[in-house]
Amino acid sequence: MFIKPKIVLSRCFSEPVRYNGEIVNNDFVNKLKRYVDYIDFCPELEIGLGVPRKEITIVDENGSKKLIQIKTGIDLTEKFLRYSEKVVNSIKGVDGFLFKSKSPSCGVGSAKIFKNKLLIGKTYGFFSEKVKEKFYYLPVEDEGRLRDGQIREHFLIRIFAFAELRELIKNPDSKKLVDFHTKYKYLLMTYSQKYLKELGQLVAKGDIDIDEKSVIYKKKFYTAFLKRPSPKKHVNTLMHIFGYVSDKLNQKEKEHILNLIENFGKENTQLKVIIEILKGLSYRFENEYLLYQKYLEPYPEELSE
């Protein structure tokens, strides 16, 4: 069972509010919406630009980013910044953000920026930039970036893990925190052995109030998941998990799985293949401890397809 993440979503994935009056149909986003609760925004619509509307563009003026409606010459920078500041400060209790790629308001490093009418690079949209500044510890992505399987997996792992932790600390409980930490042991090992150790020590401390402990745990847990783990870190985790079942396998089976893990380290085998094998072995040998681990299924399987 998974707790539904709460995310902020660009409204154009749900309603026809794009500058040209269209809706954005994206297969992954459409699937994801069935597994999350979301609140949506369309900054351009909400500052009064309407639908359809003349396009806006990010322009570099003397090293400063401006948001300009090119056909009219109207400078929307201050209006947009005020809106973004107000809305970003109103957002509470979310687990991540998913925006429209290339948008001058919402693109995540994918919005075009011009100088003297020439394209000079890519940047964050005005709204997504403010979000990233305030919610630096949460996943902030656009659907274009999620075409990369590793970025998509990192996004999904984080929003589902953060949703479960958010639900837990609504009513902090020492036993539930221990259970939570136990089930996330191998994901934490993969992302950061440093924070796995620190969080384990925190959970074990008996001289700290559970409310205070939960606040500290949350901050460290979020920090642990900031950086996507390398294949080498996954290999370390896979070897730990394999150790729980290896003594029940014959030599050929052991060699086969070890070879797969080695090939994954060289990026010649998909991680999903090895995880499915280890999950199958956990069922076969009725290893409840491994089956409890979120590493083997950190988010609904349907979203990995």
Among 49, 45, 137, 34, smallest CA distance to 100 is for 45
Q: What is the pLDDT of residue 91?
A: 97
Is 300 exposed, middle or buried (CB count within 10 Å of its CB: 0-12, 13-18, 19+)? middle
pLDDT at residue 58 tops 80: yes
Structural domain spans, the chain: 6-147, 150-224, 231-304
Whole-number pLDDT of residue 146: 97
Tell me the average pLDDT across 102-112: 97
The amino acid occupying position 59 is V
Which pLDDT score is estimated for 179?
A: 97
CA distances from 199 to 57, 211, 224 (A): 45, 15, 10
Give dist(CA 150, CA 13) in Å, integer. 22
Q: Are 77 and 111 in contact (CB under 8 A)?
A: no
Is the pLDDT confidence value at 305 over 80? no
Q: Summarize the confidence of residues 179-199 as an average pLDDT.
A: 98
Cα 22 to Cα 122, 133, 220: the distances in Å are 24, 29, 41
pTM over 0.85? The answer is yes
Indicate the angle between helix axes 174-183 and 210-224, nearest 10 degrees: 20
Rounded to a whole number of angstroms, the CA Rg of the chain reads 22
CA separation for the pair 270, 253 (Å, rounded): 18
The pLDDT value recorded for residue 38 is 98
The answer to whether 224 and 192 are in contact (CB under 8 A) is yes
For the segment 131-144, what is each residue's pLDDT rounded down to a tens digit? 999 999 999 999 99
Higher pLDDT, 1 or 186: 186
CA 205 remoteness from chain centre: 29
Query: Is residue 34 over pLDDT 90?
Result: yes
Q: Given this model, what pLDDT does residue 1 score?
A: 82
Q: Is the pLDDT of residue 67 over 90?
A: yes
Q: What is the pLDDT of residue 46?
A: 95
Q: Cis peptide leading into 52, omega within 30 of 0?
A: yes
Strand pairing class (96-99; 140-142): parallel
Contact call for residues 138 and 48 (beta carbons, < 8 A): no
Average pLDDT over residues 193-208: 96
What's residue 267's pLDDT? 87
Predicted pLDDT of residue 245: 96
Contact present, 142 and 98 (Cβ < 8 Å): yes
**Residue 78 confidence (pLDDT):** 96
Band of the pLDDT at 145, cuts 50, 70, 90? very high
The pLDDT assigned to 304 comes to: 85
The chain-wide mean pLDDT, for the chain, equals 96
